Structure 1
Amino acid sequence: SDLGPNVGYEAIGLVDSSLPTVGVFAKATAKDTPKSATEQSGTGIRSESETEAEAPEVHISPSFSPAPQVPKQGEDYGKGVIFYLRDKVVVGIVLWN
């Protein structure tokens, strides 16, 4: 779903504000908006353009464990995933942009 040309989200499962959450965010780029996704694909329907895209392969070494950092002024962490937990089990997910 889109909340305008610059914000999009997808949710699945139990997404309840009373549940504890864990979020992971990354720096956003100009290509990380619903408007950009539809413009690049030439479609007016974002869900159609997303099924055409292929995810790049990611390799992470087993010893890689970055320490959490506080964002600096002006940094835009505009995309991410939020996990909703119940009894330490993921019961819902929200994907942002």
Structure 2
Amino acid sequence: MLFHVRMDVAIPRDLDPDERDTLLATEKARALELQRNGTWLHLWRIVGQYSNISVFDVESTDELHEILWTLPLFPFMKVQVTPLAQHPSALAAQP
């Protein structure tokens, strides 16, 4: 199942700088791991915002929920999830 996920991040400005650096490094490592294993298919930055648009490929909504909750930055995110279905006019849908 494919899901379009928008993540808007708001890290508190008063967070300890060392804690922030550790948090960001841990988040990056987790994102890279999920991309390498084929779960996080696309990761795009939204210009001018601390936000991204992503596409995840998972077996279920429960799996996506668990993945999102394990992201180190999740406590600082507003997340919007949209399930995706193949469009009949897409090249991939053509015989």
Q: For this structure pair, what is the TM-score category when the shorter chain's length is used for normalisation?
A: under 0.3
Higher helix share: 2
TM-score by length of structure 1 reads 0.24
